[in-house]
Amino acid sequence: MIELAFAAGYDVQALDELPAAGGAHEFARDGRVVDGGVLIEVFAEHGAWAGLVANAPESVAAAHTAIYSTPSPNMVCVVARGDAYFIDVDAPERWWVLEDSPVVAVRSATAEGLLVLATPRRVVAVGRDGVAWRTPRLAIDGIELAAPTDGELRGIADPRDDAEEFVVDLRTGRHEGGFSFPDQ
């Protein structure tokens, strides 16, 4: 799946195999050996390149895999089996991986300039310059998100058990609802 909700200064496509014309960039958390992942080809202002974004080695069944534009027009987000990589399309050697994982849902809050990612326990927003905010832990093990509306993001913590609704202010990351955890 490719979602280009934000204006992007590039084109991107998923590949089934690497192009025959040379090597590819590899993106792997903590220097892991790349053993499978998401193959992409990017066409940017400074040229085209291909890359292999490593799958997380272990992940939950709900872990997400997709490609997203971001609030920064020269940054692409590739989520590979729950690990979210943010790659500078003009200089692919400049990239970072979101420390929160596995990502189970992604929403584009274009009016607020945020790409919002949910893990089974919290919500993280990435803006033009990186992580804008993180909620404290909202769930024991599972979050579902609705589409952002009117500056808010609504969701359900632990939808399969004792579900608890929550709402997050997209400007600040403050929330109401969800579960409370004494260690936070």
* Closest CA relative to residue 49, chosen from 1, 88, 83: 88
Average pLDDT over residues 70-89: 96
Taking only the tens place, the pLDDT of each residue in 37-57 is 899 999 998 899 999 999 887
Instruction: Please report the beta strands in 81-170, taking only residues with DSSP state E, as ranges in sequence order.
Output: 83-88, 95-97, 105-109, 114-118, 123-127, 130-134, 143-145, 152-157, 164-169
CA angle 2, 159, 61 (to 5 degrees): 50
Taking only the tens place, the pLDDT of each residue in 81-139 is 999 999 999 999 999 999 999 999 999 999 999 999 999 999 999 999 999 999 999 99
